[in-house]
Amino acid sequence: MKINDVVYESVEVNEPVLIALIESKPLQRLKNIEQYGIPKEYYLFPGFSRYDHCVGAMLLLRKLGASLEEQVAGLLHDVSHTAFSHVIDWVIGDPDKEDFQDKTHKEMISKSEIPEILSKFGFDMSVTDIEKYSLLESELPNLCADRVDYALKEFHYWTNPEIVKLCLDSLRIYDGKMVFSSKAAAEAFGRNFMRCQMEHWGSTDTVVRYHLFSKLLKIGLDEKIIFMEDFYHDDSHVIGKLKAGKNLEINKMLNILSSKKTLLPNEDAPQTIKKKKFRYVDPEYVENDMLHRLSEADERYKDFLVEQRKINDKGVNVNLSI
Question: Has residue 268 got a pLDDT over 80?
Answer: no
pLDDT at 264: 78
pLDDT at 96: 72
Say if CB 257 and CB 209 are below 8 A apart: yes
Compute, in degrees rounded to 10, the torsion defined by CA atoms 229, 234, 235, 237: -70
pLDDT at 322: 56
Report the percentage of the chain scoring pLDDT > 70. 99
Nearest to residue 59, comparing CAs of 180, 186, 153, 189? Answer: 153
Contacts of 40 (CB under 8 A, 6+ apart): 34, 47
In this prediction, residues 26-54 reach a mean pLDDT of: 97
pLDDT at 29: 98
pLDDT at 316: 84
- The DSSP code sequence of 42-88 is G-SS---BHHHHHHHHHHHHHHTT--HHHHHHHHHTTTT--TTGGGH
Q: How far apart are CA 58 and CA 47, in angstroms?
A: 19
Q: How far apart are CA 190 and CA 143, in angstroms?
A: 10
Nearest to residue 45, comparing CAs of 153, 179, 183, 194? Answer: 153
pLDDT at 320: 76
Bridge partners for 284 per DSSP? 293
In this prediction, residues 175-192 reach a mean pLDDT of: 97
Report the percentage of the chain scoring pLDDT > 90. 86
Contacts of 181 (CB under 8 A, 6+ apart): 170, 171, 172, 285, 286
CATH homologous superfamily for 2-203+277-317? Hypothetical protein af1432 (1.10.3210.10)
Query: How much is the pTM?
Result: 0.94
DSSP 37: S
Question: Has residue 190 got a pLDDT over 60?
Answer: yes
Instruction: Give the domain ranges of the chain.
Output: 2-203+277-317
In this prediction, residues 173-200 reach a mean pLDDT of: 97
Say if CB 172 and CB 276 are below 8 A apart: no
How many residues are there in the chain? 322
Question: Has residue 262 got a pLDDT over 90?
Answer: no
Question: Has residue 97 got a pLDDT over 80?
Answer: no
* Burial degree of 241 (CB within 10 A; 0-12, 13-18, 19+): middle
* Position 94 confidence tier, pLDDT thresholds 50, 70, 90: confident
Residues 200-239 have pLDDT tens digits of: 999 999 999 999 999 999 999 999 999 999 999 999 999 9
Lowest mean pLDDT, pick from 96-100, 116-120, 124-128, 184-188: 96-100
Contacts of 51 (CB under 8 A, 6+ apart): 27, 28, 30, 31, 33
Bridge partners for 274 per DSSP? 316
The chain-wide mean pLDDT, for the chain, equals 94
* Position 265 confidence tier, pLDDT thresholds 50, 70, 90: confident
pLDDT at 317: 86
* CB burial readout 130-140, b (16+ within 10 A) else e: beebbbbbbee
Kindly report whether the peptide bond that precedes residue 46 is cis, defined as omega within 30 degrees of 0. Answer: no
Say if CB 88 and CB 82 are below 8 A apart: yes
pLDDT at 116: 98
Residues 41-75 have pLDDT tens digits of: 999 999 999 999 999 999 999 999 999 999 999 99
In this prediction, residues 128-155 reach a mean pLDDT of: 96
Question: Has residue 170 got a pLDDT over 60?
Answer: yes
Question: Has residue 321 got a pLDDT over 80?
Answer: no
